[in-house]
Every structure is written in structure tokens, then in C-alpha cells.
Structure 1
Amino acid sequence: MGLQERRLIQQHTNTLLPQVQADLQQYCGGDIDVVVEWEGFENDAAALERLSSQCFDRLLKAVEWVCQDDLGKAALREKVHRVVVRNVPTAAERTLLLSDGILTVAGVWSSVHWDGLYHQTEYHKFLESRL
């Protein structure tokens, strides 16, 4: 891992993740932990640079849609206690999974093609179908 990647991970740990957690708290009224598996980003500065826009911005928009009313807020708080984000090398490994209170989001965050990413409507449909 190079200096650029270490700096981006530190920046995300200090600023991005606390902001994402605060946004989740605001939208659903409960605490949801956010964990990034940094080892998948160690040699991928492009994924680190795009993590906010390619992953979190879209996921947060979908959560905001789900939590538009008290029913959605309660359902999300009941089913999602942690969000785990992974960077995977290929679109074939991209996954969304909700199990035991953990929402796992794996994508090719450095991708410039949709096949490795999720649109906020995909997150929204996924969440609504599992809450």
C-alpha cells in the first residue's frame, strides 16, 4: 500500500465514515455501524477516491427513500445494524446481502461502468424487499 492509499484511508476513517454514520442516524433515527474492509482497497487509489460517490452517496439516498416515514425508519432500524463495504476486483463478485443485521455491499468502486456498481434504485429495491 502506497502513501496515497494510506492518506485516503485515514481521511475516510476520520471524516467520511463519521459523516455516513451521522447521515444514517438522521435518516433512520438509530445507530448503524459502518465498516469498510480496507484491505480490499490497499492497492486501489481509484476505488478510495470514488468510494463516497460510487458507494455511500447512492446507498444513503436509498436509505433516505426507505426512511421517508416512521414505518420505513422502524423497519430499517430493526433489520440493519451494520453496513460492511468491500471492494472487489470484478463485477462478477459484486454483491448485496442482508443477513443477521449486517448489510454487506461489495462493488468495484473504481469502476467507470455500471456493471461493477449499484444505482440508488437498486439499493432501494433491495432494502425494501428485505425489510
Structure 2
Amino acid sequence: MGLAEKRLAESIKTDSLPAFESKLNNLAGYPIKVNIDWNTFTAFDTYPLSRLEIVFGDLESFVKKICTDDMGKEALKEKMSAINLTNTDNRDNVSMELKDATLFLTVQLAGDSFSSQTDSQIAGYVETLL
């Protein structure tokens, strides 16, 4: 990790991430903690960090889709209290799993292409588990 990655990661940690968590909390009506495996996002260059805002947008939209009413908010609250984000450079490792009240997402923001779950894919997956 070079200086550019360190600066961008720190900016996300202090500015973007708190604002993003606040948006999720407002949409869901309860606190959702977002944990980021920073080492997997800073191991390459600034590209994965710069694409993190896109993942935040998909996650915000997913929570909005689930939490359209009190029934959705309660169902999500019972099953999910945190989101863990990990980055990979291998498309075969892109995955999502909801277990132990945590949504684990592995995205590919490094390497030769960009691959992550869309808001509809995440919502479709999580809705079946609520």
C-alpha cells in the first residue's frame, strides 16, 4: 500500500463510511455496522478503493428495497446487523452469504475487471432468508 492508497482509505474511513452507515441506519430504522477488510482493498492500487462508492450505492439500494415497510424493516433487523466487505482479484471468489446476522460480500474490484453483486441480486438473496 502506497501513500495514495493510504490517503484514500483514510478519507473513506473518516468521511464516506460514517455517512454511508448513517444512510443505512435511516433506511433500516436500526444500526447496521459496515466492516471493511481494508487490506484487501489497499493491496493493489487506488482502483478498488475508488470503486467502493459503487458498492455502497448498491448496498444502500438493497436496504431500501427490503425496508419499504415495517415488515421488511423488522425482518431485516432480525437477520442482519452487519455487512462485511472483502475485495478479491479473482472473479471465482466473488460471493455473498448471510450468516450469524452478518452479510458477507466478496467483490472483485481489483484485477482486469469489476465484479460485484447488484442491489437486486443482494435483495433477492436476502429476501429469501428473511
TM-score, normalising length from structure 1?
Answer: 0.92
Question: Does residue 68 of structure 2 align to residue 68 of structure 1?
Answer: yes
Q: In the alignment, which residue of structure 2 is the partner of 1:96?
A: 96
Q: Distance in 1 between matches of 2:18 and 2:99?
A: 23
Question: Does residue 10 of structure 2 align to residue 10 of structure 1?
Answer: yes
Runs of 4+ in 1 over 6 A off after TM superposition: none
The alignment partner of 1:50 has SS state of: helix
Structure 2 contact 89–110 (Cα < 8 Å) conserved: no
Sequence identity percentage: 27
Question: Does residue 36 of structure 2 align to residue 36 of structure 1?
Answer: yes
Q: How many residues align?
A: 129
The alignment partner of 1:130 has SS state of: coil
Q: 1:23 to 1:92 in 2, by over 3 A?
A: same
RMSD: 1.4
Question: Does residue 114 of structure 2 align to residue 127 of structure 1?
Answer: no
Structure 1 contact 50–110 (Cα < 8 Å) conserved: no
List per-residue Cα deviations over 1:56-102 (Å, max 9, x = no partner): 10111011010000000011111111110000111100010110111
Unaligned runs of 5+ in 2: none
TM-score, normalising length from structure 2?
Answer: 0.93
1:73-84 matched pairs, under 5 angstroms: 73-84=73-84
**TM-aligned CA deviation for residue 43 of structure 1:** 2.6
